[in-house]
Each structure stands twice: as C-alpha cells, then as structure tokens.
A and B are shown apart, each in its own frame.
Chain A
Amino acid sequence: MPIDKFETLQSTAIPLPIENVDTDQIIPARFLKATERKGFGDNLFRDWRYKKDGSQNGDFVLNDDRYNGSILVAGKNFGSGSSREHAAWAIYDHGFKVVVSSFFADIFKGNALNNGLLPVVVSESFLEKTFDAIEKDATTKLTVNLEAQTITNQALGLSESFEINPYKKECLLKGYDDIDYLIHMKSDIESFEKK
C-alpha cells in the first residue's frame, strides 16, 4: 500500500512519559485477530485507556481532554517487544503522524517508517524539557520538518536535528514504499538466484 507523503508537521503533542512501552501495551494481542488493516486505532493502548469494567480510565493521557494533536511523545525504548506491525498501524490509525522518543526498538522503527509514521529520535534532555513544557502548557506545539530533519519547540526556542536514513526519507517525502522498489528489481533478484 502506498504511504501518505510527509513534509512538515506542526502540532500539539500527547505526552506519555513512560519507558519501555512495549507493543503488548500499544495493542494487546487479543486485538490482532483482524484480517484487514482497519480500525486498530480503537484499541490503541487499550488496557491503559479502559478500566477492567470497560469504562474509560480518566487518568490515562489519551482520555485527558487537555491533550490532543498528531505527535506522540514517549519515554525511552518505545516499541520494544513483538514484531507486530499492528502497533504502528494502531498509532497511525489513531491519528498520530510522528512519535518522538529518545530511543526506539528496531523493529518498531522499521514498521513505523514502512507505514508513513515518522519516528523522531531526540536527546534525553530535549525529551525531558518537552515533557515539562507539555505538562505546564498543553497547547505547546512541536514542528517536525522532514526535509530539514529538524524538530523544534518554538516556545522554548529548542531545536534539534534528527537522523533518518536518506532512502527512507525519500520514500516518506514522495509517498513511495519498499515494495514498489523491489518490484522494479525483479531481474536483479533473478540473476542473484542463478549465482
């Protein structure tokens, strides 16, 4: 499936200052039974969002009316655990375009990029300051510029550049995916097989 193009995003952010958020928290296994890539956003952080009796957990940030926006800011080592791409789908489907953290698990990062969800790695201090800023003022905006590879918190006058593989950057900017690329490599792959 071709992915959505990404250029620049300015948005308020939702803070999740928890470390090692694993894919079982992002989307619990019992919601992986679908055979279509639809509706996973409803079950994003399911067991944190809802109490055991099914009612909303008002303490969880996604249920807190003060916070909204299409940037998720999370504690370090985000997305560890299973390879389920459903985690990236659920985040994207819920309306996030960017996840900011000081560290991402490998597979999650790859899955996110393959689905037009941009993982932005920032320094620990940028992350701490951003959590503080959002906590003090929920309308704090972050700007992510993919072309320039920068993330900026204007209010604080804080800006950092982030790394992204040049090929992946090109894919996101243009809305291509790897499958389009591989389809064009058919004859190279066939000659590799003959070796």
Chain B
Amino acid sequence: MQPKTLFDKIWDAHVVKQVEGGPNVVYIDRHFIHEVTSPVAFTGIENRGLKVARPAQTTATPDHNVPTIEQDKPIKDEESRFQVETLEKNCSNHGIQYYGLGSQNHGIVHVVGPEMGYTQPGMTIVCGDSHTSTHGAFGSIAFGIGTSEVEMVFTSQCIMQPKPKTMLIKVDGELSDGVTAKDIALYAIAKLTTSGGTGYFIEYAGSAVENLSMEGRMTLCNMSIECGARGGMIAPDQTTFDYVEGRPFAPKGEAWDKALAEWKELKTDSGAVYDAEFHYNAADITPMITYGTNPGMGVSVQGNIPSGADLEGTDRISFEKSLEYMGLSAGQQMLGHPIDYVFVGSCTNGRIEDLRAFAAFVDGKKKADRVTAWIVPGSKVVEKQAQEEGLVEVLERAGFKMREPGCSACLAMNDDKIPAGKYSVSTSNRNFEGRQGPGARTLLASPLVAAAAAITGVITDPREL
C-alpha cells in the first residue's frame, strides 16, 4: 500500500463521494456552532422545510459577542442579545446541546470543545469560524467553514470541499526558556507570509512540537489559518490520550480501549510524501511580536521593523499603509515602545496554561499604571480552575482583574474595544486594522511577552525581567 500522510488517512476515511470534476463530499463527525455564523443557516434550512439532520453531532455556545462582565445580567446591547437568544431558540427547536451564559461549561467554542472531550483524534470537525483549526491539535481534521457550509452540515452532516494539499512543518530541537508555542506560530507565519499556506493543510511535527502540552499544541494549530492554510494538525500521542481520557464526552470503558487502539494508528506512514515541507530549528526561535497589520508581520521582540527597502509596487504601498496605521516606522526597534493595553485571552491563548504562565510571571510584581489589562479566561472551566489554583489572587496582588469568558477584545464585537490609536499587546491571533476596535493598534505576542509589557508599560523581552 502507498504510504499515506496522517491528513490523507483521516480525509480519505471521511469521503462519502468524489463528485465528478468537483469537490469531495466529506462526512463531518463534529459540528460546533456559535451565534454569529449560524442564524442565516438555520433560516436557510427552515425555508427548505428541513430540520438539523444530526443534532447530537452539533454543539453550540455563544462567544463572539457576549459581554465579559456581569454575565448574570441580561446582555445590554440589543443586537447582541437578540443574536444570542436566536442561537438558544434555534438550538432548542432543533435539539442541539447549548452551553449558554450561566452554564458552568460556557466559553469560547474552541476552548469548550476540547475541554468537554467532544474533540477527539481522527475526527472531522468544522465550525463557522476560521480558528476551528485549533482542534487539529488532537490529530483531527478541523477547519473553518462559511455559513452556506454550516447550512450544508445542518442539512446533511456533510460539506463539499476539494481535497487540500499537504504541508509538513517540522520544528526540531529544544525551545529556549521564555519561548512558547505562540512564538513558534508567529515565527512560522513570518517565514511563510499570510498566504504561504493557502491551499494546504499543515501537519506540525518534530521534537519541539512533540514536547508541547495540549494547550501549546492548540495554540500552534489555532494560528495555522493565519498563513492561509485551512488547518493544522499534530499526530496524537500519549500527551493527547492523557488529555482526552476522562473528559465528559470522551469514550469510556470498552469504547475507550477500542478508540485508543485506533488512535494509536493515526500517524503519517514513513515514506509518505507531503506537497510541501518546511524545517525549522527550535533554537532559532525567540519571543516574537508583530509590528504590522497582518500576522505575518512579526519579528523577534529584540528585533527591528524591516526597512522595506526590498519591496516594490503594491507590496510597498501595503507595507507603508500598514506602518502608518500602526504609527510605527520602518527600521524602528520594538523594545521600549510604550503600550497602553494588554489583552490576554482568546482561543489562541485563553487556556489555563496561558493564565498560569502569565500569573507566574507577574507574581510579586506590579502592573504598570499606564497599562489597562484585560485578562479573559477562555471558558468557565478555565475561570474556575484559575480560582482554585490561586491564580486569581496572584493576579489581583499584581494589580490585574480577571473578566468572564468570551471572545472579548479578540474581535471586539462586544464592549471590549481598544480605543483608536492605542497600542495593545494581545495574545489573540489577528492584528488586522480595526480588529480590536476602530483604529486600535494590535501587537500580537505570547502571554509571557504580554506579561512583561504589562509590568513595564513598554515592549519588553520577558527573558530580561
């Protein structure tokens, strides 16, 4: 038999049909939905007189526009409240499990799925959100879809997709202290650019990746979309199995043993060929930060903004426009630049390990007065864990307050907006113009870089504090 990549094995096992001259009809094991990209799809199937075909394979949680304070009170913003209520009503009409505000399992959809054990190796997983790629950390094929495709999954539990090409990103060696999964992601995107992965599905491998915790792996896979790839995945191993075992929706007893035996087979065969390969050395990666308005515009925190001298035509126009928006100049050093906000959260870095890293760093120090910090746990479960582990106390002693779970300033659909012109060191995944509020200036970084900036009020290398 022809050796196969992990991606090919899982994909091929889910193809219901190859449409002649067209896409594959791909069966979807798990569908996550949230309030923003689902309402039109529900209306669509209802207009056709249909019901959701496999409600038990669908899970819902409102996250994009929920407030992150006073979640026990009704949502003040009328449109947001209506969207959230619409999701709840649609779920109850169609028999879909809904974790709403007030539920102890509420949170960002990509944090809730894994922690509830819905996300498992070997699955196909979709959601109307591009960071669905997060779930690939478990050795599943997980990717974001549009609302028309949400409607397809509702109708048939399938979507129609051409098969992507495969890419291997191998990171070998040991990460230095202060370097995290987020830095690997920002490093790889800076190398690949925001379109370098378009048309591909990434598999991450190598010893630096294998040594990451599940949280770190989720951070890395989460950002796959930022180089244009549909998703990223990591072959499941003991770290994965240990994480999944015992979670509410994980297989139990005999079913667990059977699943485990199957999951252990989920790896790329030796001799399998990828359509593209990139090899990086973990030792070359330092704490990273972005300076521009796309996630590919990243440099080492110790570095300078590129001069842009080699750019021509529209490349040059885009580069200049981006720096103008950011209020930064070509060649400028990043260290020491004053910042105004710190945002720790999102489906990229809103997990317990991120809060632990942030809290450990600020322990015994004090937040800089000029900095407003928003620490937003990814879910109620994370929030509870942070309380139980005493992280909340550590944070409060250092002058930080934790908010309630949601997407928050990652996309600023709720009130958590960075004001125009202000600089925010954010652990989220996108630094587009206006992403964190009209005129907001986002510098993407790891929770450690965010912590160092929160303490000093300027861009700082966390290894030097």
Chain A residues within 8 Å of B, Cβ to Cβ:
1, 17-20, 22, 24-25, 28-30, 32-37, 47, 52, 75-77, 80-86, 88, 103, 105-107, 110-111, 114-115, 128, 165-168, 177-179, 181-183, 185-186, 188-189, 192-193
> Which of B80, B164, B412 makes the CB contact (< 8 A) with A33?
B80
Residues from chain B with a CB closer than 8 A to the CB of A114 are: 146, 148-149
Please choose the segment from B40-48, B101-109, B116-124, B274-282 that sits at the chain A interface, where 4 or more of its residues have CB less than 8 A away.
Answer: B40-48
B36 adjacent to A84 (CB under 8 Å): yes
Are A185 and B27 in contact, CB atoms less than 8 angstroms apart?
A: no
A149 to B228, CA, bound (A): 25
Whether A19 touches B318, Cβ cut-off 8 Å, given contacts A35-B83, A84-B37, is yes
Asked whether B205 is an interface residue with its Cβ less than 8 Å from the other chain, the reply is no
Beta-carbon contact of A47 and B438 below 8 Å: yes
Instruction: List A contacts of B147 (CB < 8 A).
Output: 37, 85-86, 111
By a CB distance below 8 angstroms, the chain B residues around A35 are 39-40, 43, 82-83, 86
A75 to B151, CA, bound (A): 31
Interface size class of B (residues with CB under 8 A): 35 or more
Report the bound CA distance from A193 to B157 in whole Å.
Answer: 10
Distance A85 CA – B16 CA, assembled complex (angstroms): 25
User: CB within 8 Å of A: which residues of B?
Assistant: 16-17, 19-23, 25, 27, 36-37, 39-40, 43-44, 47-48, 64-65, 77, 79-80, 82-83, 86, 128-130, 144-149, 151-152, 155-162, 164, 194-195, 198-199, 228, 230, 294, 313-315, 317-318, 321, 411-413, 420, 430, 432-435, 438-439
A83 with B129: CB separation less than 8 A: yes
B432 vs chain A, min Cβ distance (A): 4
> Is A188 in contact with B16, judged by CB distance below 8 angstroms?
yes
Known: A107-B146, A128-B313. A33 touches B83 (CB 8 A): yes
Task: Check A165–B23 contact: CB distance below 8 A.
Answer: yes
Interface residue from B36, B195, B321 paired with A80 (Cβ < 8 Å): B195
B267 to chain A, nearest CB (A): 23
Residues of B within 8 A of A24 (CB): 411, 430, 432-435
Kindly provide the distance from the CB of A89 to the nearest chain B CB, expressed in whole angstroms: 8
Chain B residue contacts of A103, Cβ below 8 A: 195, 198
Query: Using Cβ atoms and an 8 Å threshold, which residues of chain A touch B40?
Result: 35-37, 85
Instruction: Collect the chain B residues with CB atoms within 8 Å of residue A29's CB.
Output: 64, 411-413, 435
Q: In the complex, are the beta carbons of A82 and B413 less than 8 A apart?
A: no
Closest chain A CB from B316 CB (angstroms): 10
Sample 22 A-B pairs with CB under 8 A, ordered by A number: A19-B317, A20-B194, A22-B430, A29-B435, A33-B36, A33-B65, A33-B79, A35-B82, A81-B130, A83-B130, A83-B145, A83-B146, A105-B195, A106-B230, A110-B145, A128-B313, A167-B20, A177-B148, A179-B155, A185-B17, A185-B158, A188-B16
- Chain B positions within 8 Å of A18 at CB level: 314, 317-318, 321
A76 to chain B, nearest CB (A): 7
Interface contact A30-B412, CB-CB below 8 Å? yes
A-chain residues with CB within 8 Å of residue B317 when the two chains form the complex: 17-19
**B228 pairs with A25, CB closer than 8 A:** no
- Chain B residues with CB under 8 Å of A166's CB are 21-22
The 3 closest A-B pairs by CB, nearest first: A167-B22, A166-B21, A33-B79
Docked pose: A185 CA to B439 CA in angstroms: 47
Q: Which of A76, A165, A188 interacts with B314 by CB under 8 Å?
A: A76
Indicate which residue in A32, A105, A192, A193 contacts B413 across the interface (CB closer than 8 Å): A32
- In the complex, chain A residues whose CB is within 8 Å of the CB of B129: 82-83
Contacts of A19 in B (CB 8 A): 314-315, 317-318
